[in-house]
Structure 1
Amino acid sequence: MLPDGKAYALLARPQNKSAFKPLPVVIIGNGPSGICLSYLLSGYIPYFKRDSLHPHPILQKKLEEARDISILDQSIEGSMVTLSRGEWMGLPDLPFKDWLKQKKRGLRNNRATAEDIAQYYQHYVVKKGLQKNFRCSTVVTSVRKVSADSISNHTQEDQQENSDDSVWNFKEKSTEVFQVDGFFKTMKGDKEPFSIYAENVVLATGTYDSPTWLGVKGENLSYVHHQLSALEEAVKNDSIGIMSDPVLIVGAGLTAADAILFAHHCNIPVIHVFRRKVSDPGLIFNQLPKMMYPEYHKVHQMMKEQSAACAGPYECYVSFPEHHVLSFGKDKKCIFQDKNGHQKVYKISMALVLTGSNPNLSFLPNNGIDLAMNNSQPVNPKRNPINVDPFTYESTQEKGLYALGPLVGDNFVRFVQGGALAVASSLLKKANKNPP
């Protein structure tokens, strides 16, 4: 994604280093993080809405004191705090629930699917006129710093053209810029290489490239999956239903919770296996405000009240805390074990291993490890995110490189908006001491 209308044309030109002037910023990724930042960099200036209420009282007071000043121009402590009480999948100025109502559906009676959410993001890009910022079917293979002296500037005429009607007016000439290499896929299936240069690069690739595997026997069998969409597809195709054997869901994160809620809505029996105690403070459910995330609180209640050792009020669901999977059999029998070594065998219809995922940062030097909080370990959204300044989201190790979303531990779209705001504010201050 390139947050500049002229950048799209640059990408399609014949590759010639002497023909390029570095772009102000290139965003890598087309998920909610990248979309939100693209929205803010495209001229949409956010202000605090009158009569709105923020759950953080200190931030509420600061916003009220500067109602007539753009949030981009304010210095807001705690930028990782979500900007509103809006539903958790929504992007700015187009509530997800409103979009869903247009499809004559509601969250209460018909739970949103991953397909719904993907369509919402696609609709958002069109609705907000952001298509020109995106270059689809593009694969980035390398991002690295190079000397700006090795790249000739545009002619004076081109420089004047690029400066018209633009908020991007960088005053200082950088000694180094980022070279972004890759290829885009043509309609014929060919790969056409590109090489572009940017003053700043924003990593917004998410962390869903490589789902985590348990590494147990039989995990590669066809009924074992690592994405929630597999369950949605099975329900859609009527291959799983009320009378089916239980679906095994492994994991105790938000994706596992989404799978449980989806199965519960469809009256599909669920066996839920996870390693932690329900009361473990590290469990994400013990960190979420109950009033703001009632559906996830419901899942947490189910995990506590409907364990195999104690029957509870929830039908078609049973939890096995402090258990782990030993193997999957060809006969669709799964063996798992508790902390005392006792084993259990269950016949299941399918398994969803939803224990997290890791980003693919192979396009960065050393796979991005040098950018992490612990630079001796790979980047991980939960345990080892990219180390960024909390107020600008700029890398502490590489100036001009920013990161958003799960790469920095912001696993909610609600929090993504605050991160995008921090990046946009920082970029605009770099470009112009008095941004619009």
Structure 2
Amino acid sequence: MLAVSFASWLDLPGFSISEWLQGTPLIPRLPSVAIAQYMKCYAEELGLCKNIIPHTRVNSIQKTGDVWTVTGVRADGSCFSYTSKHVVLACGKMKQRQLELPRRNPALPIVYDALDMKTYMTNDSTLGTSENNARVVVIGDGISSVDAVRVCLENEIPVLHVMRRTERQLKNTVLSRLSPSQYPEYHLVYRMMIGKDVHPLYERTTASSVVDVDEKSVLTISTPKGNRYEKASMLAVCIGRVCDMEGILPGKYTFSGYQCDQDPTLYSVGSFAGDHFVRFLVGGCLDVARSIHSFYKDKNNNDT
């Protein structure tokens, strides 16, 4: 799957994608796996690996006096504890936003992105066949929902696309601003979402939401014309992600930009700060680095 951002937008300071590829990319958008590999090589090229501890889980972020203490567990089960004058929350939005339903049906598979959907399809060859002719129901109207719809159509699986926004609201989303020439795969689905194009395996319902599911995997969908009922073979819930800091960072903290309103030594970057695209990361991180550098520069000046 191709990355949404152009390769030239994803260059990191000191070692560009062109340098990594040893030449200019032949296509403007590289596969997502290539971007991930570039970022791994970036850390190696600039000698940053010693400053990165992957596969860890942070359990606690607490402040005592003017010192932060961050504790957690490494992949091998060993514990760690670090102290610092500043903390930057760069954990992103890792927890999938859940669909709130009054009941659950364990027999109905639920996935949250296109990757999970592909994995499930690999293990269930009956999806979309005469053995299981119920449609896949995709919930959401963002880029991840389009990816899920694309996976269904590419595998010739019928799909019902349930969107909370109205058709008019859909015309003012990120999808509406994507160039047809640079993002043809998203543009094709977007035109179906707003009713400009049709596909024999695709049906949409706007201003709608799934409100219940029964023991037979029949969904109750609230629409402007009343409730409709749809038997589903799979439910793809693509309604975004949330930051889950509950139990980790005590207290209530808000951010106006990258710096915390309540504590100037606490920062956030990336999707935690509202920068949902990778290409925005560099600017946010540079702003935080500037702020921390100014703190120590002023401190040194006051000490002399």
- Confirm whether residue 215 of structure 1 aligns to residue 104 of structure 2: no
- The CA distance in 1 between the partners of 2:143 and 2:170, in whole Å, is 15
- Confirm whether residue 131 of structure 1 aligns to residue 20 of structure 2: no
134, 145, 162: which one pairs with 1:256?
145
Which residue matches 1:388? 256
Matched residue of 2:220: which SS? strand
TM-score of the aligned structures, taking structure 1 as reference length: 0.56
Change (3 A) 1:123 1:316: farther
- The CA distance in 2 between the partners of 1:240 and 1:127, in whole Å, is 46
1:249–1:256 CA contact under 8 A, matched in 2: yes
Change (3 A) 1:290 1:125: same
- Confirm whether residue 340 of structure 1 aligns to residue 225 of structure 2: yes
Higher share of residues assigned strand: 2
TM-score of the aligned structures, taking structure 2 as reference length: 0.76
Which residue matches 1:31? none
105, 111, 136: which one pairs with 1:225?
111
Shift of 1:201: 0.9
Change (3 A) 1:222 1:344: closer
118-127 vs 393-402, which moves further: 118-127
Shift of 1:205: 0.8
Matched residue of 1:414: which SS? helix
Q: What amino acid is aligned across from residue 78 of structure 2 in structure 1?
A: E
Which residue matches 1:411? 276
Q: What amino acid is aligned across from residue 388 of structure 1 in structure 2?
A: S
Which residue matches 1:325? 210
Which residue matches 2:233? 349
- The CA distance in 2 between the partners of 1:260 and 1:339, in whole Å, is 23
1:224–1:353 CA contact under 8 A, matched in 2: yes
- The CA distance in 1 between the partners of 2:17 and 2:201, in whole Å, is 32
- The CA distance in 2 between the partners of 1:318 and 1:194, in whole Å, is 51
Which residue matches 1:399? 264
- How does 1:77-116 map onto structure 2 within 5 Å? 86-87=6-7, 90-92=10-12, 93-95=15-17, 112=31
Backbone CA RMSD of aligned residues? 3.7
Shift of 1:204: 0.7
The size of the alignment, in residue pairs, is 285
Which residue matches 2:191? 301
- The CA distance in 2 between the partners of 1:336 and 1:216, in whole Å, is 13
Q: Residues 227-264 of structure 1: CA distance to partner in whole angstroms, max 9, x if unpaired?
A: 43221213444636664643211011222122223334
- Confirm whether residue 201 of structure 1 aligns to residue 83 of structure 2: no
- The CA distance in 2 between the partners of 1:232 and 1:89, in whole Å, is 28
Spell out structure 1 runs of 4+ moving beyond 6 A: 105-108
Shift of 1:124: 4.4
221-230 vs 233-242, which moves further: 233-242
Structure 1: state its 5+ residue gaps.
Answer: 1-84, 148-175, 307-311, 373-386
- The CA distance in 2 between the partners of 1:207 and 1:129, in whole Å, is 27
278, 281, 284: which one pairs with 2:173?
284
Change (3 A) 1:107 1:290: closer
Q: Residues 131-188 of structure 1: CA distance to partner in whole angstroms, max 9, x if unpaired?
A: 21211232222222223xxxxxxxxxxxxxxxxxxxxxxxxxxxx12121223242xx
Matched residue of 2:70: which SS? strand
Matched residue of 2:99: which SS? coil
Q: What amino acid is aligned across from residue 183 of structure 1 in structure 2?
A: V
Q: What amino acid is aligned across from residue 160 of structure 2 in structure 1?
A: I
Q: What amino acid is aligned across from residue 361 of structure 1 in structure 2?
A: M
Q: What amino acid is aligned across from residue 284 of structure 1 in structure 2?
A: T
Which residue matches 2:301? none
Change (3 A) 1:223 1:88: farther
Shift of 1:336: 1.6
274-283 vs 405-414, which moves further: 274-283
- How does 1:183-198 map onto structure 2 within 5 Å? 183-186=73-76, 191-198=77-84
Which residue matches 2:60? 142
Which residue matches 1:359? 243
1:212–1:358 CA contact under 8 A, matched in 2: no
Q: What amino acid is aligned across from residue 71 of structure 2 in structure 1?
A: D
1:142–1:364 CA contact under 8 A, matched in 2: yes
Change (3 A) 1:400 1:212: same
- The CA distance in 1 between the partners of 2:38 and 2:144, in whole Å, is 19
Q: What amino acid is aligned across from residue 137 of structure 1 in structure 2?
A: H
Shift of 1:203: 0.3
Shift of 1:91: 4.7
Q: Residues 53-72 of structure 1: CA distance to partner in whole angstroms, max 9, x if unpaired?
A: xxxxxxxxxxxxxxxxxxxx
Q: Residues 384-411 of structure 1: CA distance to partner in whole angstroms, max 9, x if unpaired?
A: xxx234xxx2222211111011112111
Matched residue of 1:335: which SS? strand
Shift of 1:208: 1.9
Shift of 1:361: 0.8
